[in-house]
Every structure is written in C-alpha cells, then in structure tokens.
Structure 1
Amino acid sequence: MAYWSSRGLRGSTLEELINLTNERYREKNLALIQKVPTPIKPIKIDKESRHISLAYFEQKSTVDYIGVVQGIPVCFDAKETSKDILPLHNVHEHQMDFMEAFEKQKGIAFIIVYFSTYDQYYYMPYKVLKSFWDRAKSGGRKSIHYKEFEQAYELHTKNGVVLHYIEGVKWVLEK
C-alpha cells in the first residue's frame, strides 16, 4: 500500500506551468487537456482545518494529463528532477503500459521533463522513452542523462503559451 504524507507539492513547479499552458490552450481553442486526479483514501484529517495530513493511494494512477489536441488524443506525464539525470524508477511500469496501450489506440503519449538545475524543459515521445526503458530492462543504464535529451525537443515559451508542448505533438506527427 503506497502512503502519502504532506511534504509539500513535489513537482509542483512543472505542474503549475503545465496547468497554465493548458488554460491558455483552452482559451485559444488549441487543446482540451485535463489533469488526472490521483485517487486517495484519507487516513488522518485535521478536524480544525479539514486538511488531509495522511492518506494512501487507492489505486495506481495512469498518467498526469489526458485530453485532445486539435482532434488528436494525447496523454502525458510530468517529471521533474534536480539532478542531471532522470531516474527511470520515476516512471512506473503501469504508466508505461498505459502509454503503450494509448498509442495502440492511435493516440500520442509522451512525458515532459523539467531539469531544474538547468531550468530547461523537454518533450520526450513515448517511443523514445520506451527505448531508454528497454535499455534499463536489459541491464543497461537505469536513468536518462540530461545530455541524452534531444535539443530539438526542448520546450520554450511561445505565442503567450508558457510551456508550448503542442510543438512536441507536431514534431511527432511530422515524423
């Protein structure tokens, strides 16, 4: 059973930017993306403030976000690291399974990674992530080094959109 205890919002910088981006996409009628809530069962609730201080995850989550970009189904997860690597244990097997099944249904799956040390954001298509996942499963490196992220997939602010990840979807469609 996985437990959650309040230690601040881990990964909140990236998720806040994604949420702002999603609002902007919706305003511009470019996409409709929703944050997927993680189902939790409260264990300890502060009676005065009514805040949950201890809970456990009721079931495994899929990905952080799901929706549609100009008629194309997309799903993605947000990963943040303060190191110069993205440890692959931060990506769970059930997430990989979900993204694979999503792509089999003609959707586009990906992750967005924030390297806080470099203050850089990257789009990584599921197929690229899968190659690193397979490398780890066959005894290779258990992380993706910052230098292995394609510079072409770096995300930037553009046209008033904070983290313009639709560009990544466009890159995948053009390949």
Structure 2
Amino acid sequence: MGTWNSRGLRGSTLEDMINRTNERYLEKGLALIQKIPTPITPVRIDKEHRHITLAYFEQRSTVDYIGAVQGIPVCFDAKECNADTFPLQNIHEHQVEFMKNFEKQDGVAFLLIYFSRRNELYYMRCAEMECFWERGQTGGRKSIRREELSEHFFLKMAGGYVPYLDALQKDLEERE
C-alpha cells in the first residue's frame, strides 16, 4: 500500500473545481456525483495541531468520483500534470480494470486530465484510455502526448467550473 505524507495535496485544484461543479450539477438536478474518500490508517498524529502527519492507505482506491447523470451510472478519476505529456504511471492497473468493468455494466467511465501549465482540461473516454494503457503495457510509449488527444474532448473551463457533462454528452452521442 502507498504512504501519504503532508507534502501538500497534489491535484487539489482540479478536485476543488470538480467538487464545485458537482454541487452545481446537484443543485440544478442534473447529476448526483460523490467524491469517494480513500480510507487511511493514521501512523503519526500531531496532537498539538490536530492533524495526521503520516498515514498508510488501507486499500487501493478505485476512482475519485462515482454517481449518476440522468439515470446513467458514471465514474471518473481526476488526474493532473504540469507538462504537455501525461505519464501512464499516473493511471493504476486496478483503476483501469475497475473502469473497464464499470463500462461492461453499462456505465460510463472516463478520466479528467488537467494540463495545469496550459490550464486545459481533457475528457478521456475509457476506450481511449485503454488504448494508451495497452500501448504502454506492450512496450510502447509510457506517456500520452497532448497532440495525440482529440481536440473534440478538450473542455472550456469557466469560472472555476468543469463542464464535463458537455463532454459526456459528446461521448454518449459517439457511442450510438
């Protein structure tokens, strides 16, 4: 299992934006999406400041978010990178398997990848993720270059919100 240390929360900017977006979608009756907490076991606690300074993950998490959009089961993971390439090592095998199995149950699984240096967000469909994952597993490139991605699935962020339902709609239309 991995270790968590208080070096700061990587990806918290993206998660904050997604959480605000999910609250807005709920208020508008569009979706019910929940953040899945990763269970941890505290090892070292700063009693004076009342925070955990070292902990171990109890189990592997599957995805960051799960819920339903207009009756469609949805799950997704939020990833962040500071370059024009996204390392495949940021996607874990158990996540790939969970997302593939989720889609076999007629759900929709995807990644939201935030290219922080460019302030760009990409909606990566599960099938697309699988192709890149397989390429990396069979000796091919171990990262995804931004230029390999479909311009069709880059999201326009507005006011700190992540309009992923727009990309989900495009994804569903392409599946028909």
TM-score class, shorter-chain normalisation, is over 0.9
Q: Distance in 2 between matches of 1:157 and 1:135?
A: 30
Q: Distance in 2 between matches of 1:28 and 1:161?
A: 17
Correspondence for 1:21: 21
Where do 4+ consecutive residues of structure 1 move more than 2 Å? none
Secondary structure at 2:147's aligned position in 1?
helix
Q: Distance in 2 between matches of 1:155 and 1:161?
A: 12
Q: Distance in 1 between matches of 2:35 and 2:149?
A: 25
Contact 2:31 2:70 in 1 (8 A): yes
Correspondence for 1:53: 53
| TM-score normalised by length of structure 2 | 0.96
Correspondence for 1:145: 145
| TM-score normalised by length of structure 1 | 0.96
Q: Where do residues 26-105 of structure 1 align in structure 2 (5 Å cutoff)?
A: 26-105=26-105
In the alignment of these two chains, the number of paired residues is 174
Contact 2:37 2:64 in 1 (8 A): yes
Q: Distance in 1 between matches of 2:96 and 2:105?
A: 14
Q: Distance in 2 between matches of 1:149 and 1:39?
A: 33
Contact 2:77 2:111 in 1 (8 A): yes
Q: Distance in 1 between matches of 2:164 and 2:123?
A: 7
Contact 2:39 2:57 in 1 (8 A): yes
Alignment RMSD (CA, Å): 1.2
* 1:35-88 alpha-carbon deviations (Å, 9 max, x no partner): 000010000111112100000001000000000001000000000000111100
Query: Equivalent pairs: percent with the same residue?
Result: 59
Unaligned 5+ runs, structure 2: none
How far did residue 170 of structure 1 move?
0.7
**2:48 partner amino acid:** E
Q: Distance in 1 between matches of 2:26 and 2:134?
A: 35
* 1:81-109 alpha-carbon deviations (Å, 9 max, x no partner): 00111100000000001001100000000
How far did residue 173 of structure 1 move?
1.1
Contact 2:17 2:160 in 1 (8 A): no
